[in-house]
Amino acid sequence: GLIPEKAFETRNKIMRKALVDPEIDNTDELVIRVNQLIDQGLIIN
């Protein structure tokens, strides 16, 4: 899996992008999805 620090950093990066992206309006769903991807180790930068 990822080191927790890297996972949080990656998640924060995605969240920042989402917050400025007008096409993403369901933030709760996004958070859940991002958390799932991180838990599965699928998000690697």
Domain boundaries, the chain: 4-39
Per-residue confidence (pLDDT) for residue 34, from 0 to 100:
79
Per-residue pLDDT of 1-45, as tens digits, reads: 557 788 788 878 877 777 776 666 667 777 787 788 777 776 554
Tokens 């709760």 belong to residue: 28
pLDDT at 4: 77
- Using CA atoms, how far apart are residues 37 and 32, in angstroms rounded to an integer? 9
The confidence score (pLDDT) of residue 17 equals 75
| Structure confidence at residue 25 (pLDDT) | 64
- Write down the pLDDT at residue 24: 62
pLDDT at 36 (0 to 100): 81
Q: How many other CB atoms are found less than 10 A from the CB of residue 7? A: 20
Question: How many CB atoms sit inside 10 A of residue 6's CB?
Answer: 14
